[in-house]
């Protein structure tokens, strides 16, 4: 097996759990589970999942995401609202700030570039 190819699956890494920082939490009690598959040279990728809740987000990095399951709403500080469901792909660019609300437990695959 080569170390130059990696499938993006939950079986490819050990899960880590976390939650939004208390000062960013708006509602609910969301629990994040992350399967980090790649962490090197400012590049991160894997699968992230969250239970319902709402928190403030501020992006200093570039992130590509594809929703695998669930329903979330991202709202920009200017009021722009983005409904996200399975199959939706998007990019969040440095400087984006607003909120992330998980309506139904949501899973996404992601690539982050610092």
Domains and CATH numbers, the chain: 14-113 (2.60.120.10)
Which two structure tokens, joined as six digits, stand for 15?
Answer: 């899960």
What lies within 8 Å, CB to CB, of 35 at 6+ separation is 9, 10, 12, 13, 14, 15, 16, 46, 47, 48
Name the band, by pLDDT with cuts 50, 70 and 90, for residue 92.
very high
Residue 24 has pLDDT above 70, yes or no: yes
**CB of 94 closer than 8 Å to CB of 58:** no
Q: Give the integer Cα–Cα distance in Å for 78 and 88.
A: 22
Please name the residue that has the structure tokens 């170390």.
3
pLDDT in tens, 65-85: 999 999 999 999 999 999 999
């Amino acid at each position: 097996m080569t170390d130059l190819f990696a499938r993006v699956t939950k079986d490819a890494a050990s899960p880590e759990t976390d939650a939004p920082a208390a000062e960013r939490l708006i509602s609910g009690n969301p629990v994040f589970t992350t399967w980090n598959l790649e962490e090197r040279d400012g590049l991160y990728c894997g699968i992230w999942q969250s239970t319902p809740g709402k928190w403030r987000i501020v992006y200093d990095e570039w992130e590509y995401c594809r929703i695998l399951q669930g329903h979330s709403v991202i709202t920009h500080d200017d009021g722009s609202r983005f409904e996200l469901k399975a199959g939706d792909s998007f990019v969040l660019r440095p400087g984006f700030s607003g909120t992330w609300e998980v309506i139904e437990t949501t899973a996404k695959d992601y690539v982050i570039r610092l």
